[in-house]
Structure 1
């Protein structure tokens, strides 16, 4: 059995900084979205993905993969959003098991309403806090972590 390679001071500082920052940023974004538009952060991200998709629709499996969300978690969020009239579901004509999430006009309007406050908060809590060089390092480093975990099926 291989011996555990413990984190050194630098590695621990990076790990603890990542944990604290990700938790605090997510908490602030969740609160801002809830207060300003009644959306959760996952719901906002669903609306963004659908708005960017051709014809405002994506297969549920593709949406779950893009959001790094479980299918059951996505199903719950889409159900809540469907009740609010923000999205609707439709079946795939060529595959009866395939379900699409479709952005409604109400959903598009809610996204348009929520986006300015959300972007302002993202800038306030992350983007404007860092230098351009720090943003590049953050994007490159976390992008690599994401790519590696996705290829491992995590």
Structure 2
């Protein structure tokens, strides 16, 4: 195995561990999946609180079909609504609601705390410590 393959393997292990910890905590404490949390964050950060479905898919790294299902769950929970694009009736936006902003604000400290704790834990693993150092930067 090459040095690059070993390094990439460590990054993948680190990523999987962190994602698992974040996903479990968000679901258990707030009833949100990790992708749902990230979608709410992207929508909340946008000046108008909306993104085209394709833009949202690209922003959170999901395919169009997965984003459509996820947005349906967020809509069912009252956290987002869909809106048609006025210029192009084929375009569909996902728009965060006040309840969605509130849920994101409530959930954000959990995400940050769990991320920090998970990175600290991974940093104590000699195999993962170099990858954590790169993620955390100087």
SS in 1 for 2:95: strand
Q: Which residue of 1 aligns with 2:137?
A: 136
Number of the residue aligned with 1:85? 78
Q: Which has the larger radius of gyration?
A: 1
* Residue 43 (structure 2) aligns with: 50
Structure 2 match to 1:151: none
The more displaced of 53-62 and 70-79 is 53-62
Counting only pairs closer than 5 Å after superposition, residues 5-20 of structure 1 correspond to structure 2 as 7-8=1-2, 10-20=3-13
Is 1:40 equivalent to 2:41 in the alignment?
Answer: no
- List per-residue Cα deviations over 1:68-109 (Å, max 9, x = no partner): 210000000000110000000000111000001000011111
Distance 1:21 1:29 in 2: 12
Give the ranges of 4+ consecutive aligned residues of structure 1 lying more than 6 Å apart after TM superposition.
none
Cα deviation code 1:37-90 (max 9, x no counterpart): 100000000000000001211111111111121000000000011000000000
User: Gaps spanning 5+ residues in structure 2: where?
Assistant: 124-128
Q: What TM-score, normalized by structure 1, do the two folds share? A: 0.77
Give the whole-Å Cα distance in 2 for the aligned partners of 1:86 and 1:20.
32
Paired position in structure 1 for 2:126: none
TM-score (norm 2): 0.86
Report how many residues are paired. Answer: 130
* Structure 1 unmatched ranges of 5 or more: 1-6, 138-154
**2-side partners of 1:109 and 1:127: how far apart?**
28
Higher relative contact order (CA 8 A, sep 6+): 2
